[in-house]
Amino acid sequence: MRNKTVAIVGATGAVGREFIGCIERRGVPVKQLKLLASARSAGKTYDFRGETLVVEDTTPEAFEGVDIALFSAGSGISRQFAPIAVKAGAVVVDNSSAFRADPEIPLVVPEINAAAIKTHKGIVANPNCAAITTLVPLWPIHQVNPVKRLIVSTYQAASGGGAALMEELENATRAYLDGRPHEPKVVKYPYAFNLFSHNTAIDPETGYNDEETKVIKETRKIFGDETIAVSATCVRVPVLRAHSVSMTFECERPIAPEEVRAILANAPGVRLVDDREDNYFPMPKDASGQDDVLAGRIRRDLSDASGRSISMFVAADQLLKGAALNAVQIAELL
């Protein structure tokens, strides 16, 4: 992004605002930053490096002169405007699910498959937040001792549903504590002091919801290995920010917890939080606002007598590494 004109599409959303913060915090010397959103958000202002930036309506003309466009406004907006941005000369880094499954479009986590960026034809897809959280700490292990089977259970925060769902959790919690009724608006279940299966459509044939299917398919695409056996259970929990994932993975050869800790101690984008003595392991409160994926609770899977399986717990900020930060890292590599 150095000395480039960068546009943020969906700039007023939760991830869009994190795009602005990431670029400012990382000190990237962009030539110009353009903020784009829906017509109803046009005219809002945000501070950026001592300047006041005014949000513009997302129109085809808004992409003229743009070098890189960071999209986080939903798959419908991405499908409509990403090709227009590319035609105008921009490279699009898209945070929605619109292009992730397209075999012609690279799906990138920079710590894993940065080289795939070189194959882009104008669009690079940013993976699902739960997939990123799972795979950043799993990849360095996979390189040493290939992972053959992976079972994950996610504990996904309200931030994954955007600013509206975060507000719903706050309002529902206040109402619950005050003894007032609260009618859910964003999801159909009570959110305060409750958890429920991820609020995406369920495939009637497989029984997996869309989020779980994304984790399965994106793991294989990012790792470049269609043979990995993956199962996922994705759950929405009453946490404002930062996703957590419980995983058990089976490697090709026996592997010890000490070996996994040694691998992760030097892994890019990972920070070990694995204090058995004090029972202190990754938590959303510690992951919030952090760039790294926190990894811990590393232990042998006692159900596998072969010694090839490890259980682990991880947490990462969904709005940062799970979304905005990963996209900005891609843009930096461009």
Residues belonging to the active site: 129, 243
Q: Tokens 């002091």 sit at which residue?
A: 193
State how far the Cα of 247 lies from the Cα of 130, in Å rounded to an integer: 12
Q: Tokens 């504990």 sit at which residue?
A: 155
Identity of residue 271: R
Contacting residues for 276 by C-beta, under 8 A, at least 6 apart: none
State how far the Cα of 324 lies from the Cα of 128, in Å rounded to an integer: 11
State how far the Cα of 158 lies from the Cα of 156, in Å rounded to an integer: 7
SS3 (DSSP) at 172 = helix
Q: Which helix (H) or strand (E) holds 167?
A: helix 163-178
Please choose, from the candidates 107, 321, 295, the residue with its C-alpha nearest in 3D space to the C-alpha of residue 214.
107
Angle at 221 between CA 73 and CA 292, to 5 degrees: 65
CA 177 to chain centroid: 31
